C-alpha cells in the first residue's frame, strides 16, 4: 500500500469538489475599444454578438453552479428528515402496542390487539383508496400532444405545393 502524498487526488467524503469548467470571461475594461474604433458595422455587430453569447453562457454556468450548490445542501439536509421519519415509523410500532395494552385493561388482550389491527387495516385501506383515486385522475398531457401535432402539421404543410417530393405521385393528372 502506497503512502498518501499531496500529489495524489483525494477521493471520498473529504475530497474537495472540483471547480466548474472555465467559461470565457466578458472583457470589462476598455482595452479592446481602440481596436474596434476602425471596425466596420458588421465587425462591431459580430463582436457584440460574441460578447453577448459569452455573457449568456457565463450567466447560465453561474446559475447552474448556484443551483447545484443549493441542491447539494438540500439533499444533505433531507437526509436528517429521512432519519427522523424512519425513527418515527419504528416508534409507531410501540404506540400501537401501547394502545392495544390499554384496551386490554377493559377487554381480553387478544381483543385489544385485534381492534388495533383492524383499525390499522382500515387506515391502510383508506389511504390506499385515496392514492388509487389520485392516480386514476392522472391524464395524459392533451395540450402538449396537441401542440406537437400542430407543429408537425405546420412543418409538413410548409413544403411547397408546386414542388412535390420525388417519392410522392404528382397531383396533376395531365402530367402523368
Q: pLDDT confidence of 66, banded at 50, 70, 90? A: confident
Cell reading at 135: 392516480
Region 123-145 average pLDDT: 87
In-domain check, residue 65: yes
In-domain check, residue 102: yes
Q: What's the pLDDT score for residue 111? A: 94
In-domain check, residue 131: yes
Distance CA 112, CA 99 (A): 8
Q: pLDDT confidence of 108, banded at 50, 70, 90? A: very high
Distance CA 26, CA 39 (A): 19
Q: What's the pLDDT score for residue 166? A: 57
Distance CA 174, CA 176 (A): 6
The yes-or-no verdict on residue 112 having pLDDT over 60 is: yes
Distance CA 157, CA 143 (A): 21
Q: What's the pLDDT score for residue 162? A: 44
What range defines the domain where residue 104 resides? Answer: 30-155
The yes-or-no verdict on residue 116 having pLDDT over 60 is: yes
Looking at residue 27, the DSSP 8-state letter turns out to be P
DSSP assignments along 98-141, one per residue: HHHHHHHHHS-HHHHHHHHHHHHHHHHHHHHHHHHHHHHT----
Number of domains in the chain: 1
26 close to 50: Cβ distance less than 8 angstroms: no
Distance CA 40, CA 28 (A): 22
Query: How far is C-alpha 31 from the chain's CA centre?
Result: 42
Instruction: Give Dmax over CA atoms of the chain in angstroms.
Output: 100
In-domain check, residue 169: no
Region 50-65 average pLDDT: 84
| Model confidence, pTM | 0.43
In-domain check, residue 17: no
In-domain check, residue 2: no
Higher pLDDT, 16 or 136: 136
Amino acid at each position: 500500500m502506497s503512502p498518501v502524498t499531496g500529489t495524489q487526488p483525494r477521493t471520498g467524503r473529504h475530497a474537495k469538489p472540483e471547480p466548474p469548467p472555465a467559461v470565457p470571461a466578458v472583457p470589462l475594461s476598455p482595452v479592446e475599444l481602440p481596436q474596434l474604433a476602425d471596425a466596420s458595422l458588421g465587425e462591431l455587430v459580430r463582436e457584440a454578438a460574441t460578447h453577448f453569447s459569452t455573457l449568456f453562457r457565463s450567466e447560465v454556468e453561474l446559475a447552474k453552479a448556484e443551483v447545484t450548490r443549493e441542491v447539494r445542501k438540500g439533499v444533505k439536509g433531507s437526509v436528517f428528515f429521512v432519519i427522523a421519519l424512519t425513527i418515527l415509523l419504528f416508534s409507531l410500532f410501540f404506540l400501537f402496542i401501547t394502545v392495544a395494552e390499554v384496551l386490554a385493561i377493559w377487554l381480553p388482550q387478544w381483543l385489544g390487539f385485534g381492534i388495533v389491527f383492524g383499525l390499522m387495516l382500515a387506515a391502510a385501506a383508506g389511504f390506499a383508496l385515496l392514492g388509487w383515486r389520485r392516480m386514476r385522475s392522472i391524464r395524459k398531457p392533451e395540450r402538449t400532444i396537441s401542440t406537437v401535432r400542430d407543429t408537425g402539421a405546420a412543418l409538413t404543410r410548409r413544403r411547397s405545393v408546386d414542388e412535390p417530393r420525388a417519392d410522392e405521385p404528382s397531383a396533376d393528372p395531365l402530367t402523368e
